[in-house]
Amino acid sequence: MDGIHDMGGMHGFGAVEREADEPVFHADWEGRALGLLLQAADGMGFVDDHLRSRIERTPPADYLRLSYYQLWIRALETLMVERGVASAAEIAERVAATSEGGRAPGGSDVTLDAVEAMVAGGASTKRPEVEIAPGYAVGDRVRVRNDHPFHHTRAPRYTRGRLGEVVIDHGVFVFPDTNSEEQGEAPRHCYAVRFSARELWGAEASPHDSLCVDFWEPYLEKA
């Protein structure tokens, strides 16, 4: 999807503003939001592909207005409705009925060490058991396909149609274009491709500089 999220190379956003001694969370709700996302993923059956695709459907003006945790919560609500966990009306009613200071019911005696062990296991989308012959090898010249699908995809717009060289074969990973749309994992090889800065940005770019971007095999064609 050619959305506002795909902002590599855009002009006009101004200076990068850094915050001194930035806290991990800027408000308690941000920490709760992170925990909700990590906890609910298993039970609701979603992974990052689903979350990202829902975030990207946020209207551009809203996307820029909202903080990243706000975008996450909005996408979580969308997934709750899609998966039948709660209707939009139920969520709205509950928000209206919620007051400060309340705490969600339930809870367990899970320890920090237990949660740490769970997180340490990760949730890899690499599928080494799926044997697929790679279509490209390190050193191959490739071009990024000039595709502009309406669905979720991970080939940044600034690379499309551009010529680069395969520098790493990362192995076989779940393909986000199908997985995000509930059409299966369809694992594919994923490669790092290196472009000269001038190939992407023209003669004003430094002749010494380069960019490396990761692509699933279907995003590429032989150059």
Interface with other proteins in residues 4-43 (CB under 8 A): 5-11, 13-19, 22-29, 31-36, 38-40, 43
Candidates 148, 141, 133, 157; CA nearest to 193 is: 141
If the CB atoms of residues 46 and 140 are measured against other proteins, the closer one turns out to be: 46
Q: Which of 50, 82, 88, 95 binds other proteins (CB under 8 A)?
A: 95
Quick check: 129 binds other proteins (CB under 8 A)?
no
* CA pair distance 216, 219, nearest whole angstrom: 6
Quick check: 215 binds other proteins (CB under 8 A)?
yes
If the CB atoms of residues 25 and 183 are measured against other proteins, the closer one turns out to be: 25
* 71 neighbors 55 (Cβ within 8 angstroms): yes
If the CB atoms of residues 49 and 140 are measured against other proteins, the closer one turns out to be: 49
Quick check: 76 binds other proteins (CB under 8 A)?
yes
Quick check: 75 binds other proteins (CB under 8 A)?
no
Binding positions for other proteins, 139-178, rule CB under 8 A: 154-156, 158, 168, 170, 173-174
Quick check: 138 binds other proteins (CB under 8 A)?
no
Alpha-carbon separation of residue 188 from 50, 66, 142, 179 (angstroms): 18, 33, 16, 12
If the CB atoms of residues 69 and 140 are measured against other proteins, the closer one turns out to be: 69
Q: Which of 181, 185, 199, 214 binds other proteins (CB under 8 A)?
A: 214
Q: Which of 2, 67, 82, 149 binds other proteins (CB under 8 A)?
A: 67
- 131: which residues sit within 8 A by CB, 6+ positions away? 172
User: For the chain, what is the largest distance between any 2 Cα atoms, rounded to a whole number of angstroms?
Assistant: 61
If the CB atoms of residues 7 and 223 are measured against other proteins, the closer one turns out to be: 7
* 74 neighbors 95 (Cβ within 8 angstroms): no
Q: What angle do CA 30, 49, 153 make, to 5 degrees?
A: 125
Quick check: 77 binds other proteins (CB under 8 A)?
yes
* 30 neighbors 70 (Cβ within 8 angstroms): no
Q: Which of 105, 139, 150, 222 binds other proteins (CB under 8 A)?
A: 105
For residue 141, the minimal CB distance to other proteins (Å) is 18
* CA pair distance 92, 136, nearest whole angstrom: 50
* CA pair distance 63, 54, nearest whole angstrom: 11
For residue 59, the minimal CB distance to other proteins (Å) is 12
